[in-house]
A and B are shown apart, each in its own frame.
Chain A
């Protein structure tokens, strides 16, 4: 009985929390006359895919989609790649000043982006990376790398060092031992943290406003934000684009959810 009550309370509360998402998908697949109908029509009378089609076939949106994909994958690569090396060193070597460095990285993790937008704006122009995807990748990676280092270090700490030692006794070099033994074992951790970094880069908005001006470099978040500029809002297109932008992410997340939750909580609980 108590269990039923708990489940019921959770489901009702979750229904309230997820209503906006349902509304989004709902508005993407129904004609505008039904969405803005008053009183609201809860049950769809007509389902259409034309809004998705028009949003996906739009050339500019395709450009934004490509930019977001490149941005998210590159940020993932830079941040987890460099982050893994550093995490490995912090975990396996007793470095003088290592603790201070780790705490410094924790401090960097807490710096809000807003404090950096003004210098980024100037430095990007000075270094010739304004309105380029590499520029955007660098700043995104900088914001996700600290957390990647901390979580990966926690993950590598939990893997016994004897495994690498055994490989090195068998004649592997340190690099080979890491590549052939440690990295395969840390795949779940890398996947979890990678998903986290990917989502963060895909959803990034403020840095993109500061650093990009043209559709050739702007990610999808900017394309969405542009809708706020129009007086008359075409809710069908807006919600179709929102759905198309968020759905791949939701799918990636659902597939890798277990690893993400594991990665985040193992870092926090210790």
Chain B
């Protein structure tokens, strides 16, 4: 980046040719001072973030090469990694996190997009529409423990869902959603996670829809495109960037989700909902095997880093201005 520091501020760039040398030195000094002011404003936040995220991350990596033996930290090299790759429960947790993340992501996207499209239409009453929008964001306000409890009551043996299942759908016995078959437990977790996450998709996609110029739709209408064609050829291409951004971020959040599993199933039944995040928590925190947990964390980090770097690269190709694109 060229060192033209006095870009937007009060002091205009004053390095003219026909000015005196003293003036040039002065303006150079002003430029340096200006830049220093900028750095000193960024520094507190940056130091805070480095101390609280980058440094601990490096400690995770470092810890993954060590083991606690009789109160001493000893260096064990790649021992934990070798152990993990041979560990069937590690692979079990990889499988579980995929089985959780993929359907959850699809559901977040479909429900979020669906509501966004409905709320973007013209309604007979804008007030009612905005009210519905406000109501539909509400699940986002609830903490995971609060929603886990809500759903535990909802899916209870004698809860309303099981009432519908037994009396109206005619099943012979109530379904133990979270403690029965592993598949059912996983589906319940995905459903609860979707309930908590769709508002995020809905808000962001709605913002994207509102930014599409109406002229595009009118032009498509003139060309005789029906609603479905307009969606495919106008809406989807226009939303592409936002969908990519929101899906990437959501993928990482969903992948890193621990709360629900920790609260509702603790990895069960038959350890089939033991996602990789829960496995890190279990080995590292519950069993106290910090070195092994760190090794699994580090492998997770490496996988995520690939995704993050690809995403940031895609983003920075978009423009040189460093524009906000979430």
Contacts and interface: CB of A to CB of B under 8 A. Distances in A.
Interface string A152-163: 011001000100
Contacts of B204: 264-265, 268
B268 interface: no
Contacts of A169: 10
A49 interface: no
A146 B130 CA distance: 29
A203 B143 CA distance: 5
Nearest to A109: B249
Given A10-B115, A119-B63, A95 B138 contact: no
B57 A115 contact: yes
Q: Which 5 A-B pairs have the closest CB atoms?
A: A112-B256, A265-B207, A93-B38, A154-B324, A203-B143
Interface in B115-154: 115, 118-119, 121-125, 128-129, 132, 134-154
A86 interface: yes
A6 B281 contact: no
Interface string B51-89: 011101101100100000000000000000000000000
Nearest to A99: B322
A55 B154 CA distance: 21
Interface of A: 3-4, 6-7, 9-11, 13-14, 17-21, 23-24, 27, 35-36, 38-40, 78, 82-83, 85-86, 88-90, 92-99, 101-103, 105-108, 110-123, 138-139, 141-142, 145-146, 149-151, 153-154, 157, 161, 164-165, 168-169, 174, 199, 202-206, 209-210, 220-222, 224-225, 227-228, 233, 235, 238-239, 242, 245-246, 249-250, 253-254, 257, 261, 264-270
9 contacts: A3-B123, A21-B150, A36-B158, A90-B42, A116-B57, A142-B49, A238-B153, A268-B245, A269-B211
A103 B312 contact: yes
Contact of A246 (B39, B49, B143, B256): B143
Contacts of B38: 89, 92-93, 95, 98
Interface stretch (B18-26, B213-221, B290-298): B290-298
Contact of B48 (A111, A141, A225, A249): A141
Given A95-B42, A253-B141, 11 more contacts: A19-B154, A20-B151, A24-B146, A40-B160, A85-B41, A108-B49, A118-B297, A203-B144, A228-B148, A268-B246, A268-B326
A89 B56 contact: no
Interface of B: 1, 3-5, 7-10, 34-35, 37-39, 41-42, 44-46, 48-49, 52-54, 56-57, 59-60, 63, 114-115, 118-119, 121-125, 128-129, 132, 134-154, 156, 158-160, 163, 167, 195, 198, 203-204, 206-208, 210-211, 242, 245-246, 249, 252-253, 255-256, 258-259, 262-264, 277, 280-281, 284-285, 290, 293-294, 297, 300-301, 304, 308-309, 311-312, 315-316, 322-326
A120 B45 CA distance: 19
Given A96-B35, A103-B316, A165-B10, A123 B59 contact: yes
Contact of B60 (A13, A116, A209, A270): A116
A18 B35 contact: no
Nearest to A120: B56
Nearest to A7: B123
B253 A82 contact: no
